[in-house]
Amino acid sequence: MSRKNIDVSIVIVATNIEDMLRDCLRSVYKALDGISGEVIVVDNASSDNTPKMVAKEFPQVTLIKKYENHGFGENNNYGMKIARGRYVLLLNSDTLIIDKNIFKEMVEWMDAHPKVGLSSCALLNSDRKTFQGSGGYFPTLHRVFAWMTFIDDIPGVDRLMKPYHPLHPGSPFYKNENYFEKSQKQDWVTGAYFLMRKKAMDAAGLFDEDFFLYVEEVELAYRFYKAGWESWYLPEWKIVHYGQMTNGSEKATIFEMQNLKLFYKKHYPHWQLPALTFTLKLGAFLRILFYSLVDPKIAKIYVKAFVSI
């Protein structure tokens, strides 16, 4: 099948996730009815039966087996390089497609909006009712400061400054739960469902492999933006994202803070890096104080984050 005949290439990275990947792939193929597509699975050095399961139960999948552990971006790059579709979707292996028309209708939406190079759908928790955060706005200094000092937890502030993370699940003041119920033009979207126009991807490039885990989708979305493409969040379509099944909060916290510094080194003026470092350390310190009172285990995570940045 030539590229012009494929509407969407779906790239899934998997590591030791046999049962969940099986369910994911079954839901993907049900949703591919009515649209031409290909599925590429990149196995990231699994030690369980994951690659054998894919080869046996889904022979139509293009399976790429890697024997050394690589980061999120690098693994997706293997699939992105061989993708033949007009659109390329990066889909987490810990997801479930619950809308049978999602691929067809989101491709049609993208076709009707030629300025959009990147989009995502709503990510639901396992209850299939509550929303997860899915992207936000670029981590400028004022946004990171508001995030680290809890200022963007104040009701109404997010409307004025468009936060880096619009959802505040841990806030006792303001969670902003309704934000992800509406369609939004955003700066970046989460990599769990990352639908790219192939033409835009070719212009922006692949993932920067210096980012092992976290912030890599922010960095790539920034290059989409610099190349003149829009990014949209579209909750008319939804999937279940089991989240945190593949990574713990300690890894997420530390990698995100470290990689924000890397993002600044690559894209923002050099004078901003010391200010960012101070802001991240301040935020980690404030969380150490807070969580020492309410959850010492989380406080220890922020101690490690403080030292690492």
- Per-residue confidence (pLDDT) for residue 248, from 0 to 100: 42
Per-residue pLDDT tens for 20-50?
999 999 999 999 998 999 999 999 999 999 9
CB 222 within 8 A of CB 268: no
Length of the chain: 309
From CA 234, how far away is CA 236, in angstroms rounded?
6
From CA 113, how far away is CA 202, in angstroms rounded?
18
159 pLDDT tier (thresholds 50, 70, 90): confident
More confident residue, 277 or 174: 277
Query: Which of 196, 201, 198, 204 shows the shortest CA–CA distance to 227?
Result: 204
Instruction: Identify the helix (H) or strand (E) that includes residue 234.
Output: strand 230-241
**Could you give the dihedral angle defined by the CA atoms of residues 54, 57, 58 and 64, in that order, rounded to the nearest 10 degrees?**
20
- Per-residue confidence (pLDDT) for residue 222, from 0 to 100: 98
Helix, strand, coil distribution of the chain in percent, nearest 5: 45, 20, 35
Work out the average pLDDT over 223-248.
86
From CA 278, how far away is CA 257, in angstroms rounded?
11
- Per-residue confidence (pLDDT) for residue 4, from 0 to 100: 55
Per-position DSSP letters for 109-164, written without gaps between them: HHHH-TTEEEEEEEEE-TTSSSBPP--BS---HHHHHHHHTTGGGSTTHHHHH--S
From CA 190, how far away is CA 179, in angstroms rounded?
15
Per-residue pLDDT for 246 more than 50?
no
Q: Model's pTM, two decimal places? A: 0.93
The CA–CA distances, whole Å, from 195 to 157, 219, 276, 296 equal 30, 15, 30, 39
CB 157 within 8 A of CB 136: no
Per-residue pLDDT for 254 more than 80?
yes
Per-residue pLDDT tens for 56-96?
999 999 999 999 889 999 999 999 999 999 999 999 999 99
Beta-carbon neighbour count of residue 210 at 10 Å?
Answer: 15
Per-residue pLDDT tens for 204-228?
999 999 999 899 999 999 999 999 9
Per-residue pLDDT for 1 more than 70?
no
Residues forming beta bridges with residue 63, ordered by sequence position: 41
Per-residue pLDDT tens for 176-210?
888 999 999 999 999 999 999 999 999 999 999 99
CB 79 within 8 A of CB 11: yes
Per-residue pLDDT for 278 more than 70?
yes
CB 61 within 8 A of CB 97: no
Per-residue pLDDT tens for 82-137?
999 999 999 999 999 999 999 999 999 999 999 999 999 999 999 999 999 999 99
The 3-state DSSP class for residue 64 equals strand
Residue 69: phi, psi to the nearest 5? Answer: -75, 125
158 pLDDT tier (thresholds 50, 70, 90): confident
- Per-residue confidence (pLDDT) for residue 170, from 0 to 100: 72
Tokens of 139: 């981590």
